Amino acid sequence: MSFDADIVIAGGGLAGLSAAITANREGLSTIVLERGEYSGSKNVSGGRMYVHALSQLFPDALERAPLERPVTKETYEIYCEEGKKITFSFQHKTKNSYTILRAKFDQWLAKEAENEGVLISYTTLITNARREKDYVVIETNRGELKAPLVIDAGGITAPVSRFLGVKKLEPKTLMLGVKEVLDIKPEIPENEGEARTIMGLIGNLKGGGFVYTNKDTLSIGVTIKVESLYNSSIPSHEIVERFRESLGLSGNILEYSAHLIPYYGYDKIGKIHDKNLILVGDAAGFLINDGFNIRGMDLAIGSGIIAGKAAKKIKELNDYSRTDIYYEMLKESFVLKDMKTALRSFSVLSEEEVFTKYPKVICNVLGKLFTVTGDGKERPINVLLQESKSENVNTTKMLSDLMRLFI
């Protein structure tokens, strides 16, 4: 059987391009199918990248890649009723994460891939996929492609995996991300950057917001559990508008996007490989939220690198059912190890009370502890019990949930 390539990769984002670059370096012929006019055209609104995986792919990436600012200040903000607000910050000099603008960054990464010999087919939409004996046929708007191995890097929709019946979309495992880039220049030194994580400004929806400083702009957005949108009367596009207005940000909107984000957790990822098929990045459901780090981009790049190396081993065996090799390599990598470590915190942050009742109780407790009326003070524990009872919150469970973020 004559194939169009050793590997066909669905998706020209971080995971797909990392897989393509790695596989190409391993001597495999590779075709990347990207549905946009260019890589990054479907990811336009910036984000934050922990750069250790990028540096593995390109040791000189910090000098060459179009990164925006190093994140040197972490700020958490919890907004409550009656003007109450909890905020704390941590400043550091460790430049282990940077803000990026995906439209700019993904185009750079695609160019790097093409310079190394990777073939990328743009405006190529996958319309179906089917198995034929020991290979996969991918149907596109440009014709059919045959390959013994496919790497699905097509984002949360995972087109090849869905067509082959390996994955399906379920609202309970999805979040909606709505983002904007504003033409507001940060008033901080050029070699510094801030990541603000914000709760309490999107009503009773399960989720939160963020503000990232770029070189000359701000990236802002909200991420919300899809299932909590069912009973919401606010259209999704208005949520980020209200969030922006609540923060008093009034710059012109340069970019806007909305997309689905995986929210599986380590124990609910499901299948990430099948005969002739490997899933990477968002398609595999790789995302970490442990309360301190929200990570997806380094997992995408890391899983892509591993997929490219696993593809080489699979080809050497000439047995394309042995995609379990990819899974075994993942288990030894930071991708699955970090996801497993974060599972306890991830589970806590999936509970509704964390976004609604707990912040209100904490704000009310602090409000009373910092208030002196002359009528006599209650012990802090008694204030906590009273406020928990008024919000119908089990104090023991709340404290246990908060402790699970750390232990």
* pLDDT tens digits along 59-114: 999 999 999 999 999 999 999 888 889 999 999 988 899 999 999 999 999 999 99
Within the chain, which residues score under 50 in pLDDT? none
Residue 1 in any domain: the answer is no
DSSP 8-state symbol, 188: S
Q: Which helix (H) or strand (E) holds 309?
A: helix 297-317
Residues 372 and 397 grouped into a single domain:
yes
Residue 2 in any domain: the answer is no
Residue 347 in any domain: the answer is no
Residues 238-277, buried b or exposed e (16+ Cβ, 10 A)?
A: ebbeebbeebeeeeeebbebbbbbbbbbbeebeebbbbbb
Q: Cβ(77)–Cβ(85) under 8 Å? A: yes
Size of the chain in residues? 407
Task: For residue 223, give its domain range.
Answer: 78-95+172-262
Tokens representing residue 146 in the block: 């045959």
CATH of the domain at 88: 3.30.9.10
- Residue that is last in its domain, among 241, 262, 283: 262
pLDDT digits (tens, 9 = 90+) for 153-194: 999 999 999 999 999 888 888 989 999 999 999 999 989 999
Q: What is the pLDDT of residue 45?
A: 55
Residue 351 in any domain: the answer is no
Q: What is the pLDDT of residue 158?
A: 94
Q: What is the pLDDT of residue 191?
A: 92
Query: Which residue's entry shows tokens 């973020």?
Result: 405
Residues 192 and 331 grouped into a single domain:
no
CA distances from 124 to 18, 277, 362, 380, 391 (A): 19, 19, 51, 61, 52
